[in-house]
Structure 1
């Protein structure tokens, strides 16, 4: 971790990474979307945090998929809750997303930090409003599928927050019990590409920081796993509305910091 951090910054980063583990395991997305605005308020450098979030996603996605397969094979879960992967959707999405994903990574590497942060906060504010008003993005045609996947891939390349656009498409193609694991496979491929590009560009992958924060993300992951099973059987509209207000407030504070 950065030796210039104050003790309270370390404490806040730990709390945010516990939260990131919970969100990622609970919903199958949002490990970056619901944490980046808080992290950028602590340390204003997306290239510091994105490799850490990316490495954690690879680790926990692989772990979740492995444990889900074991649970399904052993019959530990009711059949209706057994998570499966929708491979046709994974192939369909990746064919559309690969090139714009690479373009987004290039944009992250060459755009000024303040501009990149402003874009991130504006996008998160837009997502937050859709949650607040109870009208998340939806796709209802092949054309919108393609547009959302291209935009989601580019935004994911720049900041790992393209999830809501991809989810708008996924909701049309996959069932609830396939949702998290299918997205984890998709994120695993896309994030691997991003980390490879970071390595080629000489970006510090923050391996030690990732290891140091892994147990804290793991705490959130364990809690999120239990929450996920409840989420499959419950309405979560109110939760998303509250989360939307938190994200919107945080993003507005971040934008003010950049502008002032």
Structure 2
């Protein structure tokens, strides 16, 4: 891809933002970053391998000294419900029309944005709801890496708060490893140079997110409302442009 100087500047800002969200919240880097990326280049198969490389790199850094602070028991039990739909989602990503997937990402993001703006949360109250959210979250994660909020609703109910972020990082590492392996097997172009070039930029957001993690946790309601409003505007514009261009 050839981008203008302004586009590269905006891409750099977006990756600072995704790094900040990923470590600040413990999830949501892709969900809160992809809508902005798609405004610049509406090709999921361009951005997702780059996001995947970053997630593997930064989650490894975060977990290198924290593997003892992971709820391995619940993680193992949940993977049986998450992995099969994740694989189906990855296959859908490489076979469905790009325009459909772009609309899908904007629609999912608008749903999250409205939930956050209205201060509503996805709740899980019983085992069958848990399984449904894990299955659907796994499929959305396989398709676009934006399934985190659905799975977090389940993990937050079963995993102690002090273990939650690290447990989620291990989950993202596993899912992205599967996704990247599938990309390689299916000969999807992976823009390694671009991903490596953007790592120092994303590192700025990563460090800022680590420092802001506790503050965000204690002010998560306000943070999500502001982010929800921003995402609603951006994703609505993106969805409208896609529809007007005849992409759906």
TM above 0.5, one fold? Answer: yes
Q: How does 1:196-215 map to 2 (within 5 A)?
A: 196-215=181-200
Q: How does 1:189-228 map to 2 (within 5 A)?
A: 189-228=174-213
Name the structure 1 match of 2:139: 154
Name the structure 1 match of 2:27: 29
Residue segments in structure 1 that go unaligned for 5+ positions in a row? 70-82
Residue aligned with 1:5, SS: coil
Q: How does 1:157-196 map to 2 (within 5 A)?
A: 157-196=142-181
Mapped partners of 1:47, 1:257: distance in 2: 19
Mapped partners of 1:51, 1:108: distance in 2: 12
TM-score (norm 2): 0.96
Residue 48 of structure 1 and its aligned partner are, at CA, apart by 0.4
Mapped partners of 2:211, 2:139: distance in 1: 32
Is 1:137 the counterpart of 2:127? The answer is no
Name the structure 2 match of 1:243: 227
Residue aligned with 1:205, SS: coil
Residue segments in structure 2 that go unaligned for 5+ positions in a row? none
Name the structure 2 match of 1:80: none
**Does the 8 Å contact 2:216/2:223 carry over to 1?**
no
RMSD (Å), alpha carbons: 1.1
Residue aligned with 2:123, SS: coil
Aligned residues: 244
Name the structure 2 match of 1:76: none
Mapped partners of 2:10, 2:3: distance in 1: 11
Moved more, 89-98 or 206-215: 89-98
Is 1:125 the counterpart of 2:123? The answer is no
Mapped partners of 1:205, 1:192: distance in 2: 14
Which aligned segments of 4 or more residues in structure 1 are displaced greater than 6 angstroms? none
